[in-house]
Structure 1
Amino acid sequence: MRSFSRPRFRIADSTQQVVGGFLLAGPFVVTEEVWVLATDMSLLQSLSTVVIVFAIGYATLYKAADRDPEDEVEVGGIPARFISLMLVSYGAVAILTLAFGAPGTFLADLSGLDRLVVTLKAISVGAVFSVVGAATADSVF
């Protein structure tokens, strides 16, 4: 009897991640509350959002979707699908942040390093939602 398994990670999977990641990232990039939160976030809070993104991504790809990370192509010991998911999750938010000019709009009173730090914090907040869309799109389609 022939066994049917999921196809290995392909470019189409990254494309699905991009669609899902951008879909859920957009609203959070242009929401003033995200930028206010980012302004007041501590380093510990910012790092906790990174942990949350990684945990959601891993859980969605390998627990909810019942994939085995050992079956994936690896880059430096990390599954390529997971690396792609992280790049898409943060990248979608970063691209939209710059494309919409959000830092200039929401952080007009800040300059230089302060603006960069708050922008990175806002990207970390948006990535929490972007990873949900990206991982779900990869797992469902």
Structure 2
Amino acid sequence: MRRTKVSVADSAQQIVGWFLLAGPFVVTEEVWLFAENMSLLQAVATIGVVCGIGYAMLYKADTKRDPTTEQRIARIPVQSFSLMMVAFGSVTILALLFDARDTVLESVESNREIALITFKTISVGSVFNVVGAATADSVFSR
């Protein structure tokens, strides 16, 4: 079985997708307030949804890809791994870069609570982000 290589262009295409969608979901006060009221279980379930959406968009919606022929990292296809890194990583970077949590969560004083709300916000933002990243990757793929 021949392994498919993943190129830098694949990750660049995903980054274009996240850039278009991540920003509004990181800086919007409503998303932070929404996340503040989520439970930890809901945030973890949301992460599962993000992984499912990403996998389905990469390998079920795009019939040109076969996850069994791709290189793997920890038994996960590289393209899927890359997509998750972009989906979660970019939201995290923008949340920290824009310092949105300090602006939105002025009344929250506990660092632990701020970190938990930030984690939940990242899970929410990643739902939309993974769609943009996977769509860009599929549209611009060779």
Residue of 43, 54, 57 corresponding to 1:57? 54
What residue is the counterpart of 1:107 in the other structure? 105
Q: Per-residue CA shift, 1:82-116, capped at 9, x if unaligned? A: 11000000011111111111010011111311000
Q: 1:139 corresponds to which letter in structure 2?
A: S
- Where do 4+ consecutive residues of structure 1 move more than 4 Å? none
Question: What is the TM-score with the length of structure 2 in the denominator?
Answer: 0.92
What residue is the counterpart of 2:84 in the other structure? 86
Residue 108 of structure 2 aligns to a residue whose secondary structure is: coil
Q: How does 1:19-98 map to 2 (within 5 A)?
A: 19-66=16-63, 67-98=65-96
- Gaps in structure 2 of 5+ consecutive residues: none
In structure 2, distance between residues paired with 1:132 and 1:116 = 25
In structure 2, distance between residues paired with 1:18 and 1:90 = 11
Q: 2:100 corresponds to which letter in structure 1?
A: A
Q: Per-residue CA shift, 1:114-135, capped at 9, x if unaligned? A: 0000011001000000000101
Q: 2:136 corresponds to which letter in structure 1?
A: A
Identical counterparts, % of pairs: 56
Question: What is the TM-score with the length of structure 1 in the denominator?
Answer: 0.92
Residue of 14, 20, 30 corresponding to 1:17? 14
In structure 1, distance between residues paired with 2:75 and 2:85 = 16
Residue 107 of structure 2 aligns to a residue whose secondary structure is: coil
The answer to whether the 8 Å contact 1:22/1:93 transfers is no
Quote the offset at 1:8 in angstroms: 3.5
Q: Number of residue pairs matched? A: 135
**Root-mean-square deviation (Å):** 1.0
Quote the offset at 1:9 in angstroms: 1.5
